[in-house]
Chains A and B, each alone.
Chain A
Amino acid sequence: MKAPSFDYVKVQSLPELLGVLVERGDDAKIIAGGQSLVPTLNMRLSAPEILIDINGLEELKGIAVADGYLRIGALTRHYELGRSDEVAAHAPLLAQALPHIAHEAIRSRGTFGGSIANADPAAELPACLLALRGRLVIAGQNGERTVDVADFFHGLYETAIEPEEVLVAAEIPVLGGGERAAFDELVMRHGDYAIVGLAAMAKADGEILSDVRLSFFSVEGKPVLAAAAADAVNGKPLNEEVLQAAQAALENDLDPLSDLYNTAATKLHLARVLTGRVLSKLASGGA
């Protein structure tokens, strides 16, 4: 179908954007890459009175390293993330996840911030951010505030961003010594939404993993850290016994939502399969 009628404004500065948000409130919707928003408009699942195009906002662009953090502007396109040397060096988890996000033509336009602000439960980047212990920079009328990723995702498509605010950037602690990343997801066909996905970080000393973070997506309404499974692994050499203990512990960590094609039990099983693959990858080198 075709999108319903709406007004359109392309804002040129952050203050202008915040002004329009205050003025138009709930009637307005921000458009960045539009790769999730436009389908919802075309399917008439959403009908804002005005679209505010933020693609011209220089304040939301760029990738930089400062004070131990990798800062990624919200308007960074997926393809830019994928070819960034800074991202590859300081947040290899993102570089690993990127080829799994949709297709080349979508990555041309889709944005890093859009994926995070949209908070689709099947999206890769929110789960990566959780595993990376990132923080989100949000701008509003009263200036900028920073929200830890642990407090950012509230549920299905819900985040800490208030209606009159906008996501400016994410800040991610740069890769520490001995830290490794591993990412995998199960899909019917490359580029589809994952049935289950796993973004993981750990510190590695030979085969012994510690500070393990297993961030699952497409399992619950928001990305979820599997703490019990991580505890089963932390500080031990990864062998078959430890791996099975971690896989068993997932029952305490995850409460999968069934979908049209997969039951909760199937998803839990697949989460265990992924856990085996990803932990093995972490222990054998990761990235």
Chain B
Amino acid sequence: MSTLYPVTVTVNGSPVTRHVEARLSLSDFLRQELELTGTHVGCEQGVCGACTVRLDGRITRSCLVFAVQADGGEIETVEGLSDNGEIDDLQTAFHERNALQCGYCTPGMLITANELLKKNPSASRAEIREELSGNYCRCTGYHAIVDAVETTGRQRQGGAK
């Protein structure tokens, strides 16, 4: 049953090829094959948002895509967005506002919030809550996360870091 399928993808700018089982999720591919453990796996049914990555430029649940389906695609993970500085301001704001406790949801929160702020840096608190409604956090109660996202949005609007 365990036929292996070739997968060639670009991950955070670097091309990689592996041979994997069809049933391997993209999230497990990133974590187990590439040891990029910043992508977290929570519910494995698309509900919690911890596994959110960018696939071909759009945020996607990596637990709901099989690695073999991503063949030819371009994937960006929290490691990539962290290294290239794209979410630097958001990470700083999360840190300063204590917008994380255990940190399990944080990579998904950062990627989802970054996507919102790219479209709408002046998002209201209600809009931020709506956009983050697909990302669960069991520690913070969300207030601090909304604060951090709102602060970052204001900074990006002002052009300041």
- Distance in Å from the Cβ of A192 to the closest Cβ of chain B? 8
Q: Is the CB of B133 within 8 A of A190?
A: yes
* Cα of A8 to Cα of B1 in the assembled complex, Å: 11
Q: Is the CB of B22 within 8 A of A7?
A: yes
Smallest CB-CB separation from B59: which chain A residue?
Answer: A105
Does B46 touch A at the CB level, under 8 Å? yes
* Cα of A105 to Cα of B64 in the assembled complex, Å: 10
User: How extensive is the interface on chain B, given as a class?
Assistant: 20 to 34
* Cα of A35 to Cα of B63 in the assembled complex, Å: 10
Chain A residue numbers with a CB within 8 Å of B23 are 2-6, 41
- Distance in Å from the Cβ of B21 to the closest Cβ of chain A? 7
Smallest CB-CB separation from B134: which chain A residue?
Answer: A103
Interface residues of A in 1-50 (CB under 8 A from B): 1-8, 10, 31, 34-35, 38-39, 41-43
Q: Is the CB of A105 within 8 A of B45?
A: no
Query: Per a CB cutoff under 8 Å, which of B64, B65, B69, B131 touches A104?
Result: B131
Number of interface residues of A (CB under 8 A): 31
Chain B residue numbers with a CB within 8 Å of A191 are 133-134
Does A210 touch B at the CB level, under 8 Å? no
* Cα of A108 to Cα of B61 in the assembled complex, Å: 9
Smallest CB-CB separation from B68: which chain A residue?
Answer: A8
Q: Is the CB of A3 within 8 A of B25?
A: yes
Q: Is the CB of A2 within 8 A of B44?
A: yes
Does B49 touch A at the CB level, under 8 Å? yes
Chain A residue numbers with a CB within 8 Å of B130 are 190
- Distance in Å from the Cβ of A36 to the closest Cβ of chain B? 9
Does A242 touch B at the CB level, under 8 Å? no
Chain A residue numbers with a CB within 8 Å of B5 are 8
Contact with A along B45-75 (1 / 0, CB 8 A): 1100100100100111101111011000000
6 further interface pairs, Cβ-Cβ under 8 Å (given A39-B44, A102-B134, A105-B61): A2-B25, A3-B23, A35-B61, A38-B45, A55-B69, A104-B115
5 A-B residue pairings within 8 Å (CB atoms): A8-B5, A8-B66, A104-B134, A105-B49, A106-B134
Residues of B within 8 A of A (CB): 1-3, 5, 21-23, 25, 28, 44-46, 49, 52, 55, 58-61, 63-66, 68-69, 112, 115-116, 129-131, 133-134
